[in-house]
Every structure is written in structure tokens, then in C-alpha cells.
Structure 1
Amino acid sequence: MDRDDFDQQVAPYRRELLAHCYRMLGSVHDAEDLVQETMLRAWRAIDSYDAERASLRTWLYRIATNACLTALKGRGRRALPSGLVGATTDAQAPIELAMDVPWLQPFPTTGDPAGALEARGSLRLALVAAMQYLPARQRAVLVLRDVLDWSAADVAEALETTPASVNSALQRARARLAEVDVKEDDVDEPTDKEIKTIVDDYVRAFEAADVQGLSRLLAERVVLEMPPAPLWLVGRDAYGEFIERVYAMRGPSWRMVTTVANDQPAVGAYVRAADGLDPIYRAHSLQVFAVSKAGITHNITFFDQSLFEYFGLPLHLE
């Protein structure tokens, strides 16, 4: 591969490498940095690339995986509130932000062509959160084997180990995920059309400050998480009471823009100043939903306005 053609040759793989690094790291910010690191390492090692031994895509994935393993050394897992503290049904519980916690982040999947991010469902927040419980090398083996469908021999070569070690690590990784119990992956999901209807109805109810209408769209045991607050609520009543609290604190003037995160429906939420003097709706949170036939089962609300840029969302609406 000619250095003059490097950028053109690697460009088609940047997006899927970003998703790969995100699965490993749980952070879209860190994933972007690691893709840049991957391209830098590839550029430096271009003279050693042998197209007869591996495709360019496979070679880049090897570099990206090892770059992620290096970055993960000494790091703790990224988490959601439900992975750190017990649930509460107290909608009036104090909200204290824990900015020192490395929180899990959502990943933008809007506009991704079919198949570009490999196995459908492999980016769901529940699964990515569960994968954070795995040691870094087990995580790498699981992604390479179960998501990218690499052979044990290929994974062994990439990680400089043996196929037997790869198979052993894969068994341990799968067993650990079973212990964590990724419940959302077992949900009997409605059709895409039904999901869109539920989310559209939720948006209309939220923008109308219609708490009762909103509550009717929730499953009985709905979960509401709000990183970076180490707090999560369980139950339709608690959810509704909390939204009433939000309207009391921030006012009833909200707008929402639908998007997609981790192959799940999501919205960017915007709020106008409660005094009504400022006509601008400003970015507030990114909310990612899990939906079943019973309604919305999970809402993870990320209070991180820097995420809006990754989702192609403006920071304010007129």
C-alpha cells in the first residue's frame, strides 16, 4: 500500500473501527482518540503490511484492538448508575452529580448503512455496559469472536496468544455475561413502526407537559437512569413523579429531536428558561430508550451536552 494512498485506503473502515473501539472502551470520546491512534500506528507500520497475510481491514482491526488494550491498562470499568448503586422509588431523592466517575456513554448509530456495524444488537447499551465487567483481553476476545466472527486462530494471532487460550477466554467471557444478565436483550421487542409510535407519543406528551399521557407509555417496572447522577428510579409512579419534579425545576417548555443511539430510539431534549424571557431552547440531555410491547422499559438520560455534537444535534433550537 502506497503512503500517498493511505488516507483513501483506510477511510472506508474508520466508522466501523470507531464502533469497535467504542465496544471496547464504552466511551465515544475515547473511541475517537483510539481510532486516531490506530491510524497513526498503521501509518508508521505501513512498510510492514503484507496484503497476502491479511486484508487491510483485518490488519487495522488488529492494530485498533491492541491500541484499546494498551489504553485500558489501569482503567476501571465505565458504568451506569444501576451498576454502582441500588435502585430507589423515591422521586424526591437528592440529585448529586459524580463527575469523577467514568460513566458509560451512548454511541450514535443514526444513518449507519445496514451491516456497517456488524452484528445487530452488539451495540445495545445493556450489552456494552455488561461487557465493561469483563477484563480487557476477555472483552477483546468476545468482540472479535462473537461480533466480528473471527476464527480462534485469527484472534490468537492478533493478540499474540494461542487458539486454546482464546477459546478459554471466550468461555469465561460468555459465563460472566450470563452472570451479569443482560435482560434487555431478552425483551420481546415490538416492530420498528410500533416503537416509533411509542416514542413519538412520548415526545408529544413530554412537550405538552402531559405527565399522565407520558406515564401511560411506560412499562410498570420502567427504569430511569441519569448519569452523571449516581441515582436510578424504578417504577411508573416514581418515573411520573420525577418528571413532575423536572417540570417544577426547569419549567414546562421543552422540545425534543429524535435520533438513534446504540441501535435504540433516542431523543435530544431541549429546554427553555422557566421565566420565559429567553426564546431559545438549549440542549439539556440525550435520552436513550429501550421499548417492549408493554411500553418504554428503560430510559437512560445522559446529562452531557458534549454528546450532542457526535449525534449531529444542535446545541440550541429557536
Structure 2
Amino acid sequence: MTSPTLVVEGLRTAFSTRAGVVKAVDDVSFSVKRGEIMGLVGESGSGKSMTGYSMLGLVDPPGRVVGGKVLLTQRSGEQIDLLQLSPRALQRVRGNRVAMIFQDPMMTLNPVLRIDTQMVEAIRAHHDVSFGAARERAAAALAAVGIASPHARLLAYPHQFSGGMRQRVAIAIALLNQPDLIIADEPTTALDVTIQGQILAEMQALCRESGTALIWITHDLSVVAGLADTVSVMYAGRIVEQGAVADVLEAPSHPYTRGLIASAPSRNVRGRPLAQIPGMTPSLLALPPGCAFQERCGRRAAACSAAPPLTQLGERQLRCFHPFQPA
């Protein structure tokens, strides 16, 4: 049996502030297989984007990764811990074996350089190929994400593309070097539903065909339902439930996951108030002792004053002393 492409074990990221230490990512563990798509979901501030940045060494001071392992198994079979690499070695991995797609494509694209210049540089930074060969690979990547007349579009500047097209270019850049893993941080949030659907279908097909593992970070459960194979739900810096996407979304066990799904507007009934999770997300500077969700949870009990471990429940894992039992 082959090893998963990515194994994250006990990842922790903290920010030292004058008010105290913020545990933005607290003991996060998961794995992603080759060709598999994992959805990482949660409310804003839950730590999902910071998890992605932490894996690639993109956390700026005063934040720093303080523990854990991020084990990447490359297609050659070699396994490396991204957290143990030197800055120079990590730079060789980023954009090559691991790529990231940001929510704003202009975080990837330079507005004053043509698309071909940016894509060719992304290839030649990691591979010893001629300019012509790199340009042909760039055109093929644009075609793969649905951009018509790719050779002509290589001569354009970013401002000559629509928002959806710029995001396609950013995705194409992530695919250029056939990475083992792609981390996508809400890349379709600002796009209209039609373009979002097209990009999701293309990403799903590309991962299946190339064997690239994909982590899709989002707050939109409907996107995860149609795209992902597995899902990990985050709350206050921790994963509270994870498992097969169909199992978790159809029969959620953690009260927070259940609340998230129930509060989706598509589940609302005309004439009834929209369901919502009571209370507010606690400050990461003042988390309650024990379960971070206890003050908003209708199943709260005395046991919740202790921190629940990540335990196995059937085919899924979750942190809860009083979960809903899956049917």
C-alpha cells in the first residue's frame, strides 16, 4: 500500500502578542492520498488558511510554527518533512513539488509582466529547459484550465483578463510543474457561480488525471460536497471532525459540524427563522478550558471542561465527549 502524499502530524502555529500567545493552529493532524481532494472547512478565523500557510513556511512574524511534522511523499518515493527544510531547500519545493493557489489571483500574478514571462520563469526556476519548451508547457497549462487561444493569451497582461480568467491563470501556474500537492485557499470565493462551477469541475478532473493531491480551503460546504472526497472541519485552531465527505455532511457527529450544516441558507424553510449557531466564536487569546465549543453547544456537560482528544468513531475522527451517533 502506497504512503499518503501528505501526512500532517500535530501541527502547531502560535503568534506572540502583547496580550498573550494566540494558538492559531493547535495540534492539527490529517493525511491526503495521491489524487485525493480534501476539503478544509470552518468559520472565518478557525485557522484553516493559517494551516495551509504553516505547511509551506509562509507564516510571517510574530507568528511561527512551534511543533509538528508535515511529511510530503514525492512521486519518486522520497519522503521529506517540510518543517525541517532550510529556507533555500523549501524554496525549491514551493511552486515545484507543492503549489499554492491564493484567494486573490493578484497575489500570484505580477501586474506589470506578461503572462508568458511569469509562467516561463515559474518553470525555469525549477527545471533546466529552454525558453521555447517552457513556453509550450505554459500554453498547454492554460489550455488545460479552459483558456481559449492559449498561445495568444500568453502575450497578454493580467489586467487584460477578467477575474475568473486571472484565477484560471493562477491555477495553471500551480499546475505547471506537475506538483505532488496543491493547497487552494478559497480561490473561487470572489467568482460568480457559473465560473466557480467550471473551475471546480476542471480542478477535480485535473487531480484525477494527474494524481495530484489537493487541499481545498473554504467556508462553503456546498463546494466541498461537490468537489471533495474527504472533509476536515476546523474550529478555534483545531480539527473537530474529519471523514468521508458523504458521511460527515449527511450525518454530522460533532455539534459544531451539525450547526454549520443546519445554518446553510439552502436548508431554510420559508416562514421560519434561519437556523444559526448561538453565541460567537471565542477569542483565541481567551479560549475556555476544555472544549473550545462548549459555550455554544447544546450538548455541553461537566466532562467538557477537559479538552476532548481526537478519537475514532466508526469511519471518522472527532473531538467530542457527547457526539451525535451516525446512523
TM-score normalized by structure 2? Answer: 0.28
Q: If each structure's strand is expressed as a fraction of its own residues, which one has the higher value?
A: 2
Q: If each structure's helix is expressed as a fraction of its own residues, which one has the higher value?
A: 1
TM-score normalized by structure 1? Answer: 0.28
Q: Of the two structures, which has the highest relative contact order with CA contacts closer than 8 Å and spacing of 6 or more? A: 2
